Amino acid sequence: MCRPDYFAVEYAINPWMDPEAGADREVAIRQWEGLKSAYEELGHRVSLIDPVEGLPDMVFAANGALVVGGRVYGARFTHRERAAEGPAYLKWFTDNGYDRVHEAAFTNEGEGDFLTLDHVVLAGTGFRTDITAHKEAQEFLGRPVVTLQLVDPRFYHLDTALFPLNGHNVAYFPGAFSAGSQEVLESLFPDAVIADEDDATVLGLNAVSDGTRVVINAEAANLQLELKRHGFEVIPVELSELRKAGGGPKCCTLEIRG
């Protein structure tokens, strides 16, 4: 995770961001601390990367890389405003002893657009990550990568519209995907938890599940009920200030898979 010490909404690269309205950094830091504590209380280990001045979106660690089986596939950002985050995250990994690191040739925003299940990596495209990066990641990771087409600019990263519940099932908002990709999701995940638009528009799908416990935006009320009905424990967190930049719990979290 990356403490939002330099967080701000000072440019707009997605429809959630309004530089005129801005955001309150102190509130963002407090809310982010709440998310970090939630993980620690669940027994997860949280590692921190130093925030860099001038990179207000660096708090969104999910975008920094994709890590599967200890292999680190580096990010290459779409927008120049975030470009310097790619090398910064990659450096964290090499400094911390990861030696299977791949500097991406193609545009991709890490775990914002790549979500890992047991037998497949789901990959979004349409707004940020280029489809050529899906092939590159598949080749580097040796895992099948399934392309999903995003069609609604509010859900510009895959992790704003879908999250893995465990190694073999997901929750998602169908309206974020093309007709063909909706069919792919239906065939891969016949038992998926389907979220409604209200849940999606509070970034309820930007959640983190460890297989039994789901850390999720507090406002996503219907989805929380649905998850409980499916036997999951729900841990609501308040991240409204970070949502002003288009981010939620998952965006703030790069999951390091050994």
Residues that bind ligand ARG (CB under 6 A): 13-14, 17, 57, 60, 62-63, 82, 112, 157, 159-160, 245-247, 251
68 versus 245: smaller Cβ distance to ligand ARG: 245
According to DSSP, the residues that pair with 125 across neighbouring strands are 149
12 versus 146: smaller Cβ distance to ligand ARG: 12
Catalytic residue check, 157: yes
- How many Å apart are CA 47 and CA 34, to the nearest integer? 15
Owner of token pair 């963002």: 28
Query: Angle at CA 231, nearest 5°, toward 230 and 233?
Result: 120
58 versus 233: smaller Cβ distance to ligand ARG: 58
Owner of token pair 């016949």: 190
Q: How far is the CB of 229 from ligand ARG (least distance, A)?
A: 26
- How many Å apart are CA 26 and CA 114, to the nearest integer? 30
E-assigned strand segments in the chain: 65-68, 71-74, 101-102, 114-116, 121-125, 145-149, 162-164, 170-172, 193-194, 208-209, 213-217, 233-237
60 versus 232: smaller Cβ distance to ligand ARG: 60
Hey, how many other C-beta atoms are within 10 angstroms of the C-beta on 144?
A: 9
Residue in 102, 157, 168, 252 annotated catalytic: 157
- How many Å apart are CA 50 and CA 146, to the nearest integer? 33
Q: How far is the CB of 4 from ligand ARG (least distance, A)?
A: 11
17 versus 90: smaller Cβ distance to ligand ARG: 17
Q: How far is the CB of 3 from ligand ARG (least distance, A)?
A: 16
What's the Cα-to-Cα distance from 124 to each of 65, 92, 114, 159, 240, rounded to whole Å? Answer: 14, 25, 7, 8, 24
- Active site positions, annotated: 157, 251
